[in-house]
Structure 1
Amino acid sequence: MAEVDETDWHLLGLLQEDARRGYRELARQAGLSPVTVANRVRRLENAGVISGYHARVDPTAAGYAVTAFIVVDTRGRRESLRVADLAKAHPFVLEDHRVTGSEDHVLKVVVPRLADLEPLIDQLNELGKPATTIVLSSPKPWSPIDSPQPMSNH
């Protein structure tokens, strides 16, 4: 685990707000030199703290009218691994989380139409018992990660 100090968290917050900020802009906002910012960001990337830079796409605006969560209770380890493989390969599955409790996987899925969900559910039925929850709205669809430790104001 990388040591992430208060300055790193400040830079992470700025990058999570807008990953397109350049080193000069980050440096200006953090009160550091661009070279220092570049070194810190590179260190965070190399340590895996920053895992990538992505555009956040609104599924509804992009033509995916339905978002759903599917929990799957599999019949055993082999089926659980097959659910993971199916999730990795299926374009409608955005996330797969292997979880504790009575179910084994929680999948986040987006589809253009409700009817597009049925074939995926049929595939999952062969591996276990899926239960689907349709999302009506997402009051908090995403949130940046902040320091796990209380810190002084940035």
Structure 2
Amino acid sequence: MVDNQLDNLDRRILHMLQLDARGASDTDIAEKTDVTGTTINNRINELEEQGVIVGYNPEINYEEAGYPMNVLFICSTDLSRRSEMAERALDVRGVVNVREMLSGEQNLHIEVVAEATSDIKQSTKQLDELGLRVISSNILAEEHIQPWNHFHQEMTGERDRLSESESTE
């Protein structure tokens, strides 16, 4: 998306989808942005085609789903094999998220969910068998996530600038 910069409407659409992708219909977004539902639909399709929107994933409370163990493994691998190892780690039992760090020894962060400690032990063994060195593992107590609010801030800032210019005319 380097060639095509996001405009104010794109930012507003992204912000609203971050707040509630499942419940935000084209019509709802259109009403809040003063454009047609067709325009919103076309913009969303363009954002998907350009790779800005890459998916719509549910946020799952694993504990409520019967998987009370949530562990973050900090691992190390050769930087030249980091992406390959990240892909392979996705096949390990219970892995729900793998983050590649740009550099450093602690260059793979792997999140695992499980029913019991025995499942975590199995996941640890599988990570080791892949050739990953587990530097540390931490039980996650809570995770707090929010939509990236700069879409909204830029939108608000642009709206404020427009209001100021209209009032001076």
Q: 1:70, 1:133 within 8 Å by CA — same for their partners in 2?
A: yes
> Does 2:82 match 1:117?
no
1:84 to 67, 86, 104: 86
Identity of aligned residues (%): 25
Equivalent pairs, count? 151
Aligned to 1:31: 34
Q: Distance in 1 between matches of 2:77 and 2:113?
A: 21
Q: 1:87, 1:95 within 8 Å by CA — same for their partners in 2?
A: no
2:7 to 5, 8, 15: 5
2:133 to 110, 129, 132: 129
SS of the residue corresponding to residue 61 of structure 1 reads coil
Residue 84 of structure 1 and its aligned partner are, at CA, apart by 2.5
SS of the residue corresponding to residue 154 of structure 2 reads coil
TM-score (norm 1): 0.84
Aligned to 2:74: 71
For residues 85 and 15 of structure 1, do their structure 2 counterparts lie closer, same or farther at Cα, with a shift above 3 Å needed? closer
Aligned to 2:107: 104
Q: Deviations over 1:34-80 (max 9, x none)?
A: 111111111111111111122221111111101111011236756x5
SS of the residue corresponding to residue 106 of structure 1 reads strand
Q: Which has the higher helix share?
A: 2
Q: 1:83, 1:124 within 8 Å by CA — same for their partners in 2?
A: no
Q: Distance in 2 between matches of 1:111 and 1:50?
A: 29
SS of the residue corresponding to residue 133 of structure 1 reads strand
For residues 56 and 137 of structure 1, do their structure 2 counterparts lie closer, same or farther at Cα, with a shift above 3 Å needed? closer
Q: 4+ residue runs of structure 1 moved beyond 6 angstroms?
A: none
Q: Which moved more, 1:86-95 or 1:33-42?
A: 86-95
The code of the aligned residue for 1:22 comes to S
The Cα RMSD (Å) is: 2.3
